[in-house]
């Protein structure tokens, strides 16, 4: 086979050069059983399903909080009476052996979930299929997963989160025929720092084991039998990534200060202890955004105070005296657990409409603040009175404990218009550029809408928020994807943002870029960008030599 490029969907960034390792689990033994043997075969199938659930539960205890919650959700699905009944029918009525019956029943169960059309339920459908494959392997006597060779690229039809966790850290990357970037397997891969491409289609199954491949998790491509030039380029990219991580560790005590001595704080967006560890190794000054909702996307009810406390303590235990900006549950839109499916509300508005559930999380955060530098962040704020209402609720639940700092996220045009009043009600502001960009440009970020944060309209909204923070005497950070965008970075520094919060894997890179910037020149650049008419003009300005210093 000559060089061939397969295109899929980016799911976890990074470049991986290795040989293809095919994950094609087979179900051993006969496919059908005679009627007299079916009762015993049914019991064997159900026992394998139970054993698979126990294995997932045990694996979940060895993983960080968010990944553990995701994997454990697969174990809970094994206890669904409807799934058990589907397995019984497959054996007793259809005559299938235990292994094929488990694959068939979980496949039908998963298809029914996916047919609902909800993106989050589709992710759970992948988890059910993974559970079926695991149970089938146990029923056929193959309880131990095959181990890939080091530095290979795993090629599979689909993977569940437990599959990724068990195969790691050996693989250099994952190439999947199905799946998607929001699937639980992709979430675990991103957390573990392993590149992944999903949605490559049936063509990926034509790749032969041992074939040289290059996986580009950012571009969403799998190149089969790359030529020498491309292989050398991939090798350089992988080496550069390793060297950048090493350089970041060596410079983690060196502050992010521009050449004209303006300091910019660099913190990390995290959801797990592992992400925090990676960020601190690269010099992160704390947590700029702790996403608490990700651990509860499979919850069947509002989390309890104890569940909130356990989640936050798991992550903050490795933080030391550094600050942690903890965002309260940002449920709604693409992040709705089953019990909230269909709700039109999101973020702070949703929480204020459920004050008892909101109070449980606030009590947990206030308690954590007694041992850590916790700062509470309110998502999707529209008006200052919402901040005041949240502060009153915090005041009610804190008892005699100190009041933690309370921040407000600026993510909507309404919040931008009321930014001055919001700043007077909050202790700090945080700009969520993902939602702000889509709302200002009216692009649906959840349905393929495209928006550029360096669009002049978005930059003007950010500039308004910065001015409101300055007038109100409070700090302002940016915690969206734009904080680590090469085009946006000098613009944000030039607009006067105090702190940037970025993904754990980008901390070292952003700190290094800040040390190469000249803040005075960045201010001039930002002013030109605000006067521009199109994002293309802004890009051209940033690309000029005067925009940065080497």
Q: Which residues are catalytic?
A: 184, 479
Sheet containing 221-224, strands listed edge to edge, beginning at the edge strand earlier in sequence = 4-7, 221-224, 212-216, 15-22, 153-156, 173-176, 196-198, 9-12
CA neighbor of 146 nearest in space, from 17, 19, 22, 20:
22
What six digits make up the tokens of 83?
Answer: 């799934």
Q: For strand 265-270 and strand 221-224, is the pairing parallel, antiparallel, or unpaired?
A: unpaired
CA neighbor of 296 nearest in space, from 342, 330, 333, 345:
330
Q: How many residues does the chain have?
A: 550
Rounded to whole angstroms, the Cα distance separating 279 from 275 reads 6
CA neighbor of 411 nearest in space, from 444, 451, 458:
458
Rounded to whole angstroms, the Cα distance separating 483 from 500 reads 6
CA neighbor of 475 nearest in space, from 526, 514, 520, 430:
430
Ordered alpha helix ranges (H), 483-534: 488-495, 507-515, 519-530
Dihedrals phi, psi of 355, to nearest 5 degrees: -60, -35
Q: Is 402 exposed, middle or buried (0-12, 13-18, 19+ CB in 10 A)?
A: exposed
CB 153 within 8 A of CB 170: no
Under DSSP, the state recorded for 272 is S
Residue appearing with tokens 């996220």: 409
What six digits make up the tokens of 323?
Answer: 């600050």
Alpha-carbon separation of residue 294 from 60, 229, 264 (angstroms): 15, 41, 28
What six digits make up the tokens of 530?
Answer: 């605000």
Rounded to whole angstroms, the Cα distance separating 102 from 535 reads 53
């Amino acid at each position: 086979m000559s060089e061939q490029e397969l295109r899929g969907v980016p799911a976890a960034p990074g470049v991986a050069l290795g040989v293809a390792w095919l994950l094609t689990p087979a179900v051993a033994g006969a496919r059908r059983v005679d009627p007299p043997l079916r009762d015993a075969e049914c019991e064997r199938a159900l026992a394998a399903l139970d054993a698979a659930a126990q294995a997932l539960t045990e694996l979940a205890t060895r993983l960080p909080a968010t990944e553990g919650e995701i994997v454990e959700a697969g174990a809970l699905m094994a206890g669904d009476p409807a799934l058990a009944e589907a397995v019984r029918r497959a054996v007793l009525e259809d005559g299938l052996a235990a292994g094929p019956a488990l694959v068939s029943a979980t496949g039908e169960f998963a298809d029914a979930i996916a047919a609902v059309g909800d993106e989050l339920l589709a992710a759970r459908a992948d988890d059910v299929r993974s559970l079926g494959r695991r149970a089938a392997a146990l029923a056929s006597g193959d309880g131990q997963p095959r181990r890939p060779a080091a530095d290979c690229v795993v090629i599979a039809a689909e993977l569940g989160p437990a599959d990724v966790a068990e195969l790691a850290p050996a693989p250099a990357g994952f190439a999947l025929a199905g799946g998607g970037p929001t699937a639980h397997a992709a979430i675990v891969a991103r957390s573990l720092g392993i590149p992944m491409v999903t949605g490559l289609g049936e063509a990926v199954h034509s790749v032969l084991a041992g074939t040289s491949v290059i996986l580009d998790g950012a571009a969403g491509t799998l190149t089969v039998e790359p030529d020498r030039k491309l292989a050398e380029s991939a090798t350089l990219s992988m080496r550069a990534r390793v060297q950048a991580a090493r350089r970041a560790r060596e410079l983690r005590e060196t502050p992010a200060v521009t050449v004209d001595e303006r300091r910019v704080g660099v913190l990390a967006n995290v959801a797990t202890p592992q992400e925090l560890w990676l960020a601190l190794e690269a010099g992160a000054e704390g947590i700029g955004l702790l996403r608490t909702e990700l651990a509860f996307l499979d919850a069947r009810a509002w989390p309890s105070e104890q569940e909130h406390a356990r989640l936050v303590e798991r992550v903050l235990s490795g933080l030391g005296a550094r600050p942690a900006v903890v965002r309260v549950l940002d449920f709604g839109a693409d992040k709705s657990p089953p019990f909230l499916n269909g709700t039109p509300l999101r973020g702070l508005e949703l929480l204020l409409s459920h004050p008892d559930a909101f109070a449980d999380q606030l009590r947990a955060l206030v308690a954590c603040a007694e041992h850590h530098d916790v700062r509470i962040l309110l998502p999707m704020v529209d008006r200052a009175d919402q901040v005041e209402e949240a502060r009153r609720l915090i005041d009610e639940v804190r008892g005699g404990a100190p009041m933690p700092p309370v921040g407000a996220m600026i993510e909507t045009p309404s919040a931008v218009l009321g930014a001055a009043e919001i700043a007077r009600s909050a202790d700090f502001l945080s700009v969520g550029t993902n939602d702000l960009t889509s709302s200002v440009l009216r692009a649906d970020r959840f349905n393929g809408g495209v928006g550029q944060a360096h669009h002049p309209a978005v930059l003007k909204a950010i500039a308004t928020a910065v001015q409101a923070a300055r007038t109100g005497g409070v700090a302002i950070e940016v915690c969206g994807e734009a904080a680590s965008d090469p085009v946006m970075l000098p613009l944000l520094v030039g607009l006067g943002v105090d702190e940037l919060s970025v993904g754990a894997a980008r901390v070292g890179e952003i700190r290094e870029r800040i040390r190469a910037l000249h803040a005075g020149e960045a201010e001039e650049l930002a002013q030109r960008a605000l006067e521009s008419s199109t994002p293309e003009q802004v890009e051209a300005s940033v690309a000029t030599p005067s925009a940065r210093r080497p």
